[in-house]
């Protein structure tokens, strides 16, 4: 049995009112989510998710998408300072990318793994310090929820019903109790929520 440190596993994702992280058009259908990503509430929420994190965990699709966007923001003096702060953190932080297809790491300070998420996260918890942030990667978050390894959920609830697409909370997850430790509602009805696992 691997010894565990007190590292928290946190997860960040945006979902619609009907619990979906994409629309009926598939992974790229983010029409019900993107309009709320740059609101004041969303930007403050973004600042909270990474402030204590020392490891970023990503699925391959997000890693490649983030790579195409965030490094340029990190060097853009005209970008919102909150976006720039997050971008610099993401570029500099230790990253773990889950993939069955990548042959090499797409970023510096990145390790590609092809192993069950629960095993990898349990190993990460046994070493180092600081939070482990699973960043908008639903497949990894789902696996960790199934293994009851998520300590904190950062949710952006977008005030739209997608009507189709993939859900974050699927049938079959183990029952668990959570408490709201922060909530903020934006002018468009978007909600930033922080839930901590009650153990």
- Is 123 exposed, middle or buried, given 0-12, 13-18 or 19+ CB atoms closer than 10 A? middle
Contact by Cβ (8 Å): 3, 123: no
What the block records as the tokens of 35 is 């309009």
Give residue 3's pLDDT band: very low, low, confident or very high (50, 70, 90): low
**Its pTM surpasses 0.75:** yes
Q: What pLDDT, on a 0 to 100 scale, did the predictor assign at position 4?
A: 56
CATH code linked to domain 9-198: 3.40.430.10
Rounded average pLDDT over 64-84 = 91
Rounded average pLDDT over 125-150 = 96
Contact by Cβ (8 Å): 45, 61: no
What separation in angstroms does the CA of 44 have from each of 48, 71, 82?
Answer: 7, 20, 8
Q: What would the DSSP string read from start to end of 68-135?
A: TTHHHHHT-TTS-HHHHHHHHHHHHSEEEEE-SS-SS-SSTTEEEE-S-HHHHHHHHHTSS-SEEEEE
CA dihedral 45, 46, 48, 50 (to 10 degrees): 160
Rounded average pLDDT over 168-196 = 97
Q: Considering only 78-82, 130-134, 144-148, 187-191, which range has the smallest mean pLDDT?
A: 78-82
Query: Is the sign of the CA dihedral 168, 22, 194, 75 positive or negative?
Result: positive
Contact by Cβ (8 Å): 136, 97: no
């Amino acid at each position: 049995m691997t010894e565990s440190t007190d590292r928290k596993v946190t997860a960040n994702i945006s979902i619609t009112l009907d619990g979906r992280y994409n629309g009926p058009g598939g992974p790229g259908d983010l029409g019900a989510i993107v309009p709320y990503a740059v609101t004041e509430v969303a930007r403050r929420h973004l600042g909270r998710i990474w402030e204590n994190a020392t490891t970023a965990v990503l699925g391959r699709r997000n890693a490649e998408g983030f790579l195409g966007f965030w490094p340029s923001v990190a060097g853009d003096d005209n970008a919102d300072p909150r976006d720039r702060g997050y971008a610099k953190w993401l570029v500099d932080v230790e990253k773990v990318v889950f993939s069955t297809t990548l042959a090499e790491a797409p970023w510096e300070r990145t390790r590609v793994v092809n192993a069950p998420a629960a095993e990898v996260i349990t190993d990460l918890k046994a070493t180092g310090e600081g939070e482990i942030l699973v960043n908008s990667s639903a497949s990894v978050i789902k696996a960790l929820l199934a293994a009851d390894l998520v300590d904190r959920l950062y949710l952006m609830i977008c005030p739209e019903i997608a009507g189709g697409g993939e859900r974050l909370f699927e049938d079959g997850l183990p029952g668990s109790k959570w408490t709201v430790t922060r909530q903020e509602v934006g002018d468009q009805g978007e909600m930033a929520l922080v839930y901590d696992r009650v153990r």
